[in-house]
Amino acid sequence: MNREPPCGTKRVFQNITGELSMNQVFRIAQPRRGIVARIAAALAVAAAGVAIAVPGSASAQEGDKYPSHPIRLIVPFAAGGGTDIQARIVAQEVGKVLGQTIVVENRPGAGGGIGAAFVGQAKPDGYTLLVGSTGTHGANQFLYSKLPYDPVKDFTPITVLATFDNVVVVPESSRIHTLKELVDTAKANPGKLNYGVTTVGSSAHLAVEKFNRDAGIKASGVPYNGAGQATTDLLAGRLDYMLDLVGTQIGNIKAGKLRPIATTALKRNAVLPEVPTIAESGYPGFSAVGWVGLFGPAGMPQSTVDTLYKAIEKVYASPDFQATMRARSFDIAYMPPAEFSRFLDSERQKWGTVVRESNIKLD
């Protein structure tokens, strides 16, 4: 940024030099050397003051006006999915609070790795952000032998944006009506029950593996490329049970085609309040939910992080926003950056254990 020196400094410099260079000034006659030396010293001090003040002032102004132009929000998954829909809702409302447009950009691939790597390498100025997930920042480092990013070192955690509860479902024609009956049946017939895996490595897959391990049951997983065909086979009775997102299966549940027997969060789901949790069905402390959170590149200024978090906090306090989110089966969740960092540590520990003990690999 170009700046005029302080008025007094400008006048002194012009009065002494006119059109002369600084070298010419110091060749002025010997009798005036003392005067010139004193003035030159004063000029040096003044110039140093200007050099120090300008960067500081510019930095302060840049910090004060964030955000001064549109923000890119990278969604590392395809458009139209749950994460994308949730990101667009949040982007629109947070953008209003910040007074700037937040442009959602989809960069899918490699289980979210392509989009995550892009943001991890971006300039940490707050204008390129990421919607990370259970996969990108909780499990991928254990599912893949090599990632194009470091989920810890390459990012600044800002806050969790939403959680996604899973539900254990069986066909309506099944003789199983409770989680206890499912566990008892599986233990009485080890390896004979089939369960659907909607997408290998997804939060729902990890959740069902954690449940099977915690319950001590052995069953046969059947992998699918998405919930559609898995649901078809479950409805037809070719699968005995499945664990999937509440939002994905709520239509079949409400239509009486699938029977929900337990949900996976610590608290009961607001959409299915009559369905007990796994935790209250004999497995205290059990929690296996999907989530998405907001991240920036590593090294973001704390003031920028605070600005973003306060805007999100304001949006999430709105009853209308909460109603919009819940209508889409998104559970409201946000927490300060420091708490979010601790949450991420616990998620990595939990899913690392599940992946290792279940021997799941995606490459």
Mean pLDDT, residues 297-308: 98
Least confident of 2-16, 221-235, 285-299: 2-16
Residue 312 has pLDDT above 60, yes or no: yes
Residue 1 has pLDDT above 80, yes or no: no
User: Among residues of the chain, what percentage have pLDDT more than 70?
Assistant: 82
Q: For residue 327, what pLDDT is reported?
A: 83
**Selection from 238, 297, 276 nearest residue 117 by Cα:** 297
Q: How does pLDDT run across 171-216, given as a tens digit for each residue? A: 999 999 999 999 999 999 999 999 999 989 999 999 999 999 999 9
Mean pLDDT, residues 30-56: 42
Mean pLDDT, residues 296-316: 98
Residue 267 has pLDDT above 90, yes or no: yes
Q: How does pLDDT run across 157-176, given as a tens digit for each residue? A: 999 999 989 999 999 999 99
Mean pLDDT, residues 241-261: 96
- Cβ atoms < 10 Å from Cβ of 289: 22
**Selection from 113, 195, 119 nearest residue 148 by Cα:** 113
Return d(Cα 203, Cα 133) in angstroms, integer: 9
Return d(Cα 170, Cα 357) in angstroms, integer: 25
- CB burial of 17-34 (b: ≥16 within 10 Å; e: otherwise) equals eeeeeeeebeeeeeeeee
Q: For residue 252, what pLDDT is reported?
A: 97
Return d(Cα 116, Cα 212) in angstroms, integer: 30
329-332: Cβ within 8 A, 24+ apart: 329/164, 329/165, 329/245, 329/246, 329/247, 329/250, 329/271, 330/82, 330/86, 330/162, 330/163, 330/164, 330/247, 331/162, 331/163, 331/164, 331/165, 331/265, 331/269, 331/270, 331/289, 332/162
pLDDT band at 333 (very low <50, low <70, confident <90, very high): confident
Q: 75: which residues sit within 8 A by CB, 6+ positions away?
A: 83, 84, 87, 104, 105, 106, 107, 108, 115, 131
> What is the pTM for the complete model shown?
0.78
- Cis, peptide link before residue 260, omega less than 30° from 0: no
List domains and CATH numbers for the chain: 71-163+289-358 (3.40.190.150), 165-280 (3.40.190.10)
Return d(Cα 36, Cα 68) in angstroms, integer: 46
**Selection from 46, 27, 47 nearest residue 37 by Cα:** 27
Q: Chain-centre distance of CA 53, in angstroms? A: 37
DSSP at 225: B
Return d(Cα 105, Cα 76) in angstroms, integer: 8
List strands edge to edge, sheet with 194-197: 220-223, 194-197, 241-245, 166-171, 258-263
User: Among residues of the chain, what percentage have pLDDT more than 90?
Assistant: 74
Q: What's the residue count for the chain?
A: 363
Q: How does pLDDT run across 95-142, given as a tens digit for each residue? A: 999 999 999 999 999 889 999 999 999 999 999 999 999 999 999 999
Phi, psi (degrees; rounded to nearest 5) at 83: -65, -40
Residue 39 has pLDDT above 50, yes or no: no
Q: Can you state the angle between helices 302-316 and 82-98, rounded to 10 degrees?
A: 100
Residue 307 has pLDDT above 90, yes or no: yes
Return d(Cα 245, Cα 161) in angstroms, integer: 17
